[in-house]
Amino acid sequence: MIDMTASELFEYFQENLICESLTRAEVETLTAYLQERHFERDETISDAGDVGDSLMFIVKGKVGFSSFDGQDEVNVGTQGVGNLIGEMSFFDRKPRNLRMYCSSKKATLLALTRPMYDRLKVEQPYIAVNILENAVVSLDHLVRAMSESMAQIEHYMHGFGRH
């Protein structure tokens, strides 16, 4: 269960264009399937090598992502309020490549665990489809951002403005 009211969650979804086709009643139903999790600065949310057991909505704060090569930890990005995280490992059930940690003073996440998602698919399929569509959009944004970064790197590596 979560401390956030159904109305607050509905407003959060509307403001961040997440599952925005859900009605207030459907969002109220969804609250029973979610867990609220709180983290402090630098606290690990999920470690590299872990298989995702939940996908999470960031409702307060920021989440950082880092990679460790055995010697150095490199920060590779952050996500803030209104973003879904953990969806890749959650759906493909493969170990995470990055460590997720709280990069702000505090962060609040709403987690949908695998068992609760499995229940949601059976008991409330329309809500489950909305969450799945949101995960697809989230992954699409990630792929597009990576593509832009790779294009910039390629452009830099082959010389700026070279003909």
Q: Which domains does the chain have, with CATH numbers?
A: 6-157 (2.60.120.10)
How large is the average pLDDT for residues 20-26?
Answer: 91
Mean pLDDT, residues 78-98? 90
Q: What percent of the chain has pLDDT over 70?
A: 83
Calculate ∠ Cα 10-15-56, nearest 5°.
70
| pLDDT: which is higher, 139 or 6 | 6
Kindly give the interhelix angle for 24-31 and 6-15, rounded to the nearest 10 degrees: 110
Q: What is the pLDDT of residue 59?
A: 96
For helices 125-157 and 114-123, what crossing angle results, to 10°?
Answer: 130
| Angle formed at CA 51 by CA 50 and CA 54, multiple of 5 degrees | 110
Q: How confident is the model at residue 161 (pLDDT cuts 50, 70, 90)?
A: low
Q: What is the pLDDT of residue 136?
A: 75
Q: Which of 43-47, 85-89, 115-119 has the lowest mean pLDDT?
A: 85-89
pLDDT at 145: 61
Question: What are residue 14's phi and psi, to 5 degrees?
Answer: -65, -45
Q: What is the pLDDT of residues 24-83, one digit of tens each?
A: 999 999 999 999 999 999 999 999 999 989 999 999 999 999 988 778 888 888 899 998
